[in-house]
Each structure stands twice: as structure tokens, then as C-alpha cells.
Copies of this chain bind each other. A is one copy, B any other.
Amino acid sequence: MSNTSILERRFPGRRAQLKRDILLQALQCFNTHGLEATTIDMIKARCDTSVGAIYHHFGNKDGLVAALFLAALEDQQQLMQQYLEQADSLREGIAALVYSYVDWVEAQPDWARFQYQAHSSVSKGPHGAELARRNAERGKQVAQWLEQREQGAALRDWPAELRASLIIGQSENYCRSWLSGRAGTPPSAYRELLAEAAWRSVSG
């Protein structure tokens, strides 16, 4: 799946061609040089467009970062939804969370890299509130899903604050390693191991 699929889903149509291209080239620049080191001129040059066009579509550099970040977030969450819908038991739910995380990072490594990189910038910026809201909403959805399956015994009595870390922490840590090149084996090779570790961490 190429980097453009996310964009075509989010900004469809022929008229948005330039918009998609700007985002795509910006993604590459940000990942290659870093957020601050990327200049508007670098992006402009790669799109063969004008500075004005970039500002016309995205307002400013932060707007560009935010647009990319939210596109990535939405795509990632969509995959999580899909996986979760197909899970029946609690254990399958935990696995769905781990699998969707790992699979998405592997399918969209550039977007994932960007997400890690831009997270603090976006959360401090003017779109930070929206990001927080979306994260809270997703957390609540997942919590509801889990509780509906808990059926009495099930999930150990972990503090709610800790749950997400227990489930996804190990996967995230490994994905960061892989994206940075420190680890060589693609995360999906360890899907089951990671899902099992998460399940053991979380279940009695």
C-alpha cells in the first residue's frame, strides 16, 4: 500500500491533486530532514508549485503538519475499528488492538515515522485540543468494547490509566526500533508474540 492511498481516501477528486501532492512531498521531507529542518521551499521544489499555493491550501507550516498528522491518525484508527469489529472474545480484542497497531505501522511506515515525530509538536500546537479529544474518544470506545466482553471475571483489575500502556507499550517500543533501523525484523513477524505478551500482562 503506497503512501498515497491515505491521501486519496481523505482528499479525493481531481481538483485536490495539488493538495495531495503537497502533503505527500511534505511527508517525505519531514521524515527525511525533521520537522524544523524542513523548509517550505524544499517542499515547494519537490511539488513544482509555488509557496503561495502551499499557504493557500494549508495556512502555514503548522497547518501542513496538522493535516498530515490527522490524516495518519484517522487512517490508523480506522484500521483498529475494522480489526476490533471482527473480534469476538476478550482475548481476540486485545489481539486486534496489537495486530492493528503493528500492521498499520508496517503498512504505512512513513506515516508512522511521521506520527512519532510530530506528536509533541501537534499536541502543543493549536490542534492539540482536537488531538486530545480524539484520543479520549478512542480510549472510551476501546474501554467500552472491553467492558462489554468482560463478563464477570475476565480482565485483571489494572488501573484504567495503565491499560493502554500494558496493551500497546511493547508493540510501540518495538515499532520505534524497527522504524529507526535498530531492529531488522518487521513487526508483523512478532504479531502473535506481542499479542500473547499483551494478553498475559493484562489477564489474570
Contact = CB atoms under 8 A, between A and B. Distances in A.
A34 to B, nearest CB: 8
Contacts of A164: 173, 177
A185 B173 CA distance: 21
Contacts of A36: 36
A162 interface: yes
A180 B123 contact: yes
A88 interface: no
Interface stretch (A2-10, A67-75, A141-149, A193-201): A193-201
A171 B201 CA distance: 12
Contacts of A173: 164-165, 168-169, 172-173
Interface string A119-155: 0100110000000000000000000000000000000
Contacts of A198: 201
A117 interface: yes
A51 interface: no
Given A169-B172, A170-B169, A200-B200, A161 B185 contact: yes
A190 interface: yes
A86 B190 CA distance: 32
30 contacts: A34-B120, A36-B36, A117-B120, A120-B180, A158-B193, A159-B185, A159-B190, A161-B174, A161-B184, A161-B185, A162-B190, A162-B194, A164-B177, A165-B170, A165-B174, A165-B177, A166-B170, A166-B197, A169-B169, A169-B170, A169-B171, A169-B172, A169-B174, A170-B170, A170-B201, A197-B200, A197-B201, A197-B202, A200-B200, A201-B201
Interface of A: 34, 36, 117, 120, 123-124, 158-159, 161-162, 164-166, 168-174, 177, 180, 183-185, 190, 193-194, 197-198, 200-202
